[in-house]
Amino acid sequence: MIEILAPCGSAESLFAALRTGADAVYLGGENFSARRNATNFTDDELKKAVFDCHVRGVKLYLAVNTILTDEQLKECAAYVKKACELGVDGLITQDLALVEIVKNCCPKMEIHSSTQMTIHTKNGAELAHDMGFSRVVLSRELPFEIIADISNLDVETEVFVHGALCMSVSGQCYMSAVIGSRSANRGLCAQPCRLPMSTKKGREDYALSLKDLCAIDCLDKLEKAGVSSLKIEGRMKRPEYVAAAVNAYKNKALKRDYDTTLLESVFSRSGFTNGYIEGKINSGMFGTRTKDDVVASSKALPKLHELYRKEYKRSRLKIQCIVIENKPVEIIAKIDDGIEVKATGDVAQTALNRPCDEQMLTKQLSKLGDTIYELESLSAKIVGNPAVSASQLNALRRELVEKLNDKRAEHNTKIVPFDMDKLCLDFKTTRTNKKPDIRISVTSLTQLEKVDINSIDMIILPLAIAKKAVAKGTYKSKIAVCMPRFTYDEESDIQTPRELKNLGIESVYCTNFAHLKIGKELGLKMHTDFGFNVANSLAIKNLCEVGISDYIASIELKASQINRLAGVKPKGVVAYGRLPLMLTANCPIKQSCGCENCKGKLYDRTGREFPVRCQKQHGYVEILNSEVLYLADKLHDFDVSFIKLDFYDESPDRVAQIINRYQNGVPSDMDKITRGLYYRGVK
């Protein structure tokens, strides 16, 4: 049966998940968890959680899913070692440093690629499998057909089916970080998407707030498609929410009745949506948390508590009793996974009144109450006229349960060896001691009309524009064809770099993990963009093994941290442009006023203007920063091989002017600019 995977942000939520039938849980520790504001689990609490889960045959996956810096690698490795010693069933991660730690120190530990890795295509899933991931947590934005295609591959798939939906594709949201230094990639998202944002200045709309996901009606077809795990979002939610969601999805999986009204009452934002899975993007997917939603939740609490008042029965007992007059009482219990235990009691005395019989034994030994067990059958061998008290049988029953629990926990706990000596964290940095090369990204060929192409190291062009440029036969040696950051039609996207390779193009600019597999198969030089969130030297080492030529460092790193990254490959930074704060499959403008009235802009509650760049042909848009990143006069602070200048709507004259300013280190001539996060960093 398909796995029902529950979120546990606290011990109370774990209690609720286990007592409503979860097959697996995911939770975070005190460090490296993408939900740092959840209660999370200390090492001692994690040890108990592993025992409580494994007693019940429930898997426990530990989220070690924040982006790491070099300063954190040693501590993270020690934390993975602790996880191995405790017997957790798998690690969920988005940082390739974890891949290196597991590969070198504990290769038997299972790792799952977090949804933060933006795996949403077959090539992305296949690359993750090749890297060592046994399971991929797919992007939430996928329709059923793509989910089914990926689920037919030789890698497990995990699909979100319930809970909050981020407006941005996971792993590609920098709004909270850029606006308030609270990084979603490090577990401290401030949820700016839930604040007012409108297509008209001064109007209080919520153009970035989606309803919660509920795909319970899709469960059967997801299971038939080969999905391995149904994931419930909500590590920040209360135990009652966890209980309601697990109860509903477990009952649905078992073809039992469930309470849809109760599920909606516990938490929703003006109802639910399953628009992504059904392929109905922009259709009734937006909503906010209303006063009525809050009232409904409060009224539902007493009924919700009933859902996990009793233990969920997980195992059936076959009990054999041997009661012989003048000999110790023996009770043997067997369960369906082959485990057998025995409890021995006092000597059975001769009965003065009513002797022991099978009916009495069944009555006392079936009182399994608030345990995970229920009696399947009882057989008894009774010799003579033995007397056994009810209190002795109760004590023997409790002893059997305790022994069964210990045996089940031991049976389901696999301790993974960890060898810290096999991990090298001695990274060598090399100074470039030269002026960084300039690479530019443009949105139209006309923006290049005034540019001295000879002074540019690389011209990064989107698929369609790259084809036009090659057709004109100009600056072919400088072109890197840029793959779309998100796609619903990967096969079509691959055709362009394949054609351009045959026409002499040598480089592909990779914006997500799938492109590494595509680029390698086409024999192209691979250059990785900021969306890979490269923030430490172990991740760089892993990407080098895949075959990259160079990389852009994470835009969430400080300049000083970038300078300390290992020098095994040329590194670069995004040095100019409007940083993409969100990558969204839902268009906030289309849902608000329609494409025909699109002005390409959003406004927040302070009146700041955020351009919206349309990538309709690929099925996504980018919400850009209100201020332009400018570093021409700060390049001396960066020890990098190259810089990338991203042009959006600049005129040809302005493009040439900006390049000249970067070549000569000239301060900005704009009223407002941003230095990004290169100096203030993130929390």
Q: Which residue has the tokens 């990274």?
A: 427
CB 565 within 8 A of CB 536: yes
The conformation of residue 172, written as its DSSP 8-state character, comes to -
pTM: 0.95
pLDDT at 259: 84
Alpha carbon distance 264, 469 (integer Å): 53
pLDDT tens digits for 68-83? Answer: 999 999 999 999 999 9
| Residue 268, pLDDT score | 81
pLDDT band for position 430 (cuts 50, 70, 90)? confident
Fold annotation for 3-165+210-309: TIM Barrel (3.20.20)
C-alpha gyration radius of the chain: 29
Helix (H) or strand (E) holding 51: helix 43-55
Q: How far apart are CA 150 and CA 183, in angstroms?
A: 29
**pLDDT tens digits along 7-38:** 999 999 999 999 999 999 999 998 898 788 77
Element (H, E) at 160: strand 156-163
**pLDDT reading at 355 higher than 80:** yes
Annotation: CATH topology of 437-575+633-667: TIM Barrel (3.20.20)
Q: How do the domains of the chain map onto residue ranges? A: 3-165+210-309, 315-412, 437-575+633-667
Fold agreement between 3-165+210-309 and 437-575+633-667: yes
Residue 295 has pLDDT above 90, yes or no: no
Helix (H) or strand (E) holding 304, with range, is: helix 291-307
CA-angle at 554, arms to 492 and 31, nearest 5°: 115
Residue 304 is predicted with a pLDDT of 86
The secondary element (H helix, E strand) that includes residue 79 is helix 73-86
> Using CA atoms, how far apart are residues 38 and 242, in angstroms rounded to an integer?
14
Q: Is residue 292's pLDDT more than 80?
A: no
pLDDT of amino acid 299: 80
> What's the confidence (pLDDT) of residue 473?
86
Per-residue pLDDT of 66-120, as tens digits, reads 999 999 999 999 999 999 999 999 999 999 999 999 999 999 999 999 999 999 9
For 522-557, how does the pLDDT look when each residue is reduced to its tens digit (9 = 90+)?
999 999 999 999 999 999 999 999 999 999 999 999
| pLDDT higher than 90, residue 674 | yes
Assess whether pLDDT exceeds 80 at residue 282. Answer: no
